[in-house]
Amino acid sequence: MKSTVDNIKNLWFGADTPIRQNKIKLHPELWAACERVNQHFTPPSGASQVEQYRKSDRLAFARAVLKELNQEESVTETREYHMA
Alpha-carbon distance of 30 to 2, in angstroms, equals 10
> What average pLDDT does the chain have?
91
How high is the pLDDT of residue 72? 76
pLDDT along the chain (84 residues), means of 10: 93 96 96 96 95 96 96 67 61
Give which of 54, 56, 74, 78 is closest to 66, Cα–Cα.
Answer: 74
User: For the CA atoms of 57, 58, 61, 62, what is the dihedral angle to 10 degrees?
Assistant: -150
Give the domain ranges of the chain.
Answer: 5-83
70-84 pLDDT per residue, tens: 987 766 665 665 566
How high is the pLDDT of residue 79? 62
Q: Please say whether the dihedral angle defined by the alpha carbons of residues 40, 44, 49 and 53, taken in this order, is positive or negative.
A: negative
